[in-house]
Amino acid sequence: MTRRVVITGLGVISSIGIGWEKFWGSLLNGKSGISPVTSFDTSNQFTHNGGEVKSFRPEEFIDKDQIHSLSRASQMAFAAAKLAMRDAKLTAQDILKMQGGTCIGTNIGSIQTVEKVDELIVNEQRNDINDSLIRQIPTNTTSSVIAREFNLRGTNMMFSTACSAGNYAIGYGFDLIKLNRAQIMIVGGSDSLSKVAFTGFNQFSAIAPQRCQPFDKNRKGMMVAEGSGVLVLESLENALNRKVPIYGEVLGYGLSCDAYHMTTASIEGIVRCMSNALKETHLSANNIDYISAHGTGTVTNDKNESAAIRVVFGDHCNKIPISSIKSMLGHTMGAASAIEAIACSLVIKNDMIPPTINYETPDPDCDLDCVPNHSRKHTVKIALNNSYAFGGNNACLVVKKYTDE
């Protein structure tokens, strides 16, 4: 359990950029990825905007004979994994010499494919469904295609803990390396934009009509989005032997279950999750320099998360910059915390904090430094990545600036 676990590769597919360089540049510039949804008809919905990745071209990452056997969520995860592996200077041949595995998180996996099949059967009364569509449906397809492509012959796992699934996947990969059951893990999350999610959140009246405004007094809701974030984790010894750059070190994570409500996060559950993360990593509240908030932009979530941060960090929270990149990306569901973990890795590497955009009116219930509208230079040694999910599935990841001490 004394092995140190570091981050050596980052891959992002997002509405504000493909590849971590474009993604990071857009974050610092406060670029919004929200636009009218075009992948399905929203005319009967209450709202019409989302975080659609319109620049994603799967053929740039995947062989043509493979594309049709993968759902959009799997395509994005596959592409993000390729980017992360390339960033970490790894090939499938390199992996053959290592103990390697993959853990990917998702909310509703290949639901977009299920929707296509449903339309063919119900609306068009067809029974000649192409085999390639059926092969896309199983959720494990996402991690399996990554494992097959990169010779990852160890643990192969999918997490479906809703919108905290990315952090769960990263945490499990961390554990396997820490326990010497793997040298290297490809971890992260992926979800595609779907009618099911879009319609569901519209029926909850949880989607903002135009933009996402986390922590703003006049916030009106979240933005449903899609994307994928994948990280390469490896033991410090392995990374040093390979002589590759290190983005940061994963110190650990905390989990909790609210056991309270299917859609509303409880303050007590969020407090317990952050407290567990601090206890697990032997840190005090004063050690945290930045918090990547769950920050969905809904009235209740932002209010409860702010209250929980006040409980855990006390007066120190007045000194902690706390931002929500969902203000730019929208909520990428099972990919959200993985993409935010990538943002945290870049924050601690560059000592720059992305803003919470669309912030106009302070809310007394969210009295935090949410880094409004403009990125900020700030020394960050340790970052906390918060994620909370339907069903009360909470996960907080702790990432530290790498030093050789």
How do 184-191 and 100-105 pair as beta strands? Answer: parallel
* SS3 call for 143: helix
Place of tokens 């405004």: 213
CA 116, 227, 184: angle at the middle one, nearest 5? 115
Please say whether the beta carbons of 76 and 228 come within 8 A.
Answer: yes
Q: Which of 273, 294, 344, 366 is catalytic?
A: 294
| DSSP codes joined into one string, 239-288 | HHHHT----EEEEEEEEEE--S-SSPPPHHHHHHHHHHHHHHTT--GGG-
The Cα–Cα gap between 111 and 92 comes to: 29
- Catalytic residue selected from 331, 366, 370, 396: 331
List the catalytic residue out of 103, 163, 212, 396: 163
Active site residue 317: no
Cα atoms found within 13 Å of the Cα of residue 91, Cβ hemisphere only: 2
Query: 378 catalytic, yes or no?
Result: no
Phi–psi pair at 315, nearest 5 degrees:
-65, -20
Residue 294 annotated as catalytic: yes
The residues carrying an active-site annotation are: 163, 294, 331
